[in-house]
């Protein structure tokens, strides 16, 4: 597929800052859990291996910060490419070091937040260590998650779920802070991919929890829509 001019410019501009902002890119290539480098299972009905993505296509961090914003006018017919999906999930909660620590911080490295993703083909849980998706439902529930009409049609919805057992304590407020970090990472990655993004707290909590088969220890907290916007 030919590279869009904007993407080309982004790549060229990004190279210089890559060394400064992501000087660890070369090292990350060697991580067993780096995207695409793990022995991922073949794509199938129940599991989807997320593809590797180029480590030299970084977008300048300051540009992503300038362009970060909430958008709600999603293109109802658009889908994400596997690479976009791979990048967004890794940004949210991926392993970025050999010791298993991740792109987002976690209190005492307990990692109590699970990320699910609702796609046209179903709902999947992001398996962090293997950088793959494991299916939990074959239904397209994307339009059943938000109450706001404008958010119903985004290409994907991320669903942030707290595992109360891992969080420790009845009020897992630290896990909420961790979700905030994940949400911002995804906003920045979406900006770098020229995709629309909206975190939304007004969700059909019970309905979605049932669709995901969550037990009482899991709390579906908040969702985030990401996808191409309607052409202007």
Of 15, 65, 109, 202, the one binding ligand FMN (CB under 6 A) is 202
CA angle 132, 161, 193 (to 5 degrees): 55
Q: Judged by CB under 6 A, does residue 220 bind ligand FMN? A: no
Range 128-137 burial, b when 16+ CB lie within 10 A, else e:
bebbbbebbe
First vs last C-alpha separation in the chain:
23
Nearest approach in angstroms of CB 187 to ligand FMN is 7
Which segment (55-63, 137-145, 165-173, 198-206) binds ligand FMN by CB under 6 A?
198-206
Of 3, 24, 62, 148, the one binding ligand FMN (CB under 6 A) is 148
25: left (phi over 0), alpha (psi -120 to 50) or beta: alpha
| Residue list 52-81, contact with ligand FMN (CB under 6 A) | 69-70, 72
Nearest approach in angstroms of CB 223 to ligand FMN is 9
Q: Judged by CB under 6 A, does residue 199 bind ligand FMN? A: yes
* Burial degree of 157 (CB within 10 A; 0-12, 13-18, 19+): buried
Of 161, 167, 198, 212, the one binding ligand FMN (CB under 6 A) is 198
């Amino acid at each position: 597929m030919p590279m869009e001019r904007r993407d080309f410019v982004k790549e060229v501009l990004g190279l210089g800052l890559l060394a400064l902002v992501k000087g660890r890119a070369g090292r990350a290539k060697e991580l067993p859990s780096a995207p695409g480098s793990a022995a991922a299972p073949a794509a199938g009905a129940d599991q989807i291996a997320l593809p590797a993505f180029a480590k030299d296509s970084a977008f300048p961090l300051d540009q992503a910060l300038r362009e970060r914003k909430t958008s709600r006018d999603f293109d109802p017919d658009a889908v994400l490419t596997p690479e976009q999906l791979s990048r967004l999930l890794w940004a949210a909660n991926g392993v970025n070091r050999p010791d298993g620590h991740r792109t987002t911080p976690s209190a005492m490295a307990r990692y109590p937040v699970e990320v699910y993703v609702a796609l046209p083909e179903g709902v999947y849980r992001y398996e962090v260590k293997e950088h793959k998706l494991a299916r939990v439902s074959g239904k397209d529930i994307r339009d059943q998650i938000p109450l706001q009409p404008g958010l119903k049609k985004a290409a994907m919805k991320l669903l942030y779920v707290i595992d109360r057992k891992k969080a420790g304590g009845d009020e897992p407020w630290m896990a909420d802070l961790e979700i905030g970090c994940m949400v911002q990472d995804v906003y920045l990655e979406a900006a770098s991919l020229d995709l629309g993004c909206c975190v939304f707290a007004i969700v059909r909590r019970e309905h979605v929890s049932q669709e995901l088969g969550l037990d009482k220890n899991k709390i579906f907290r908040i969702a985030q829509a990401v996808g191409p916007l309607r052409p202007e």
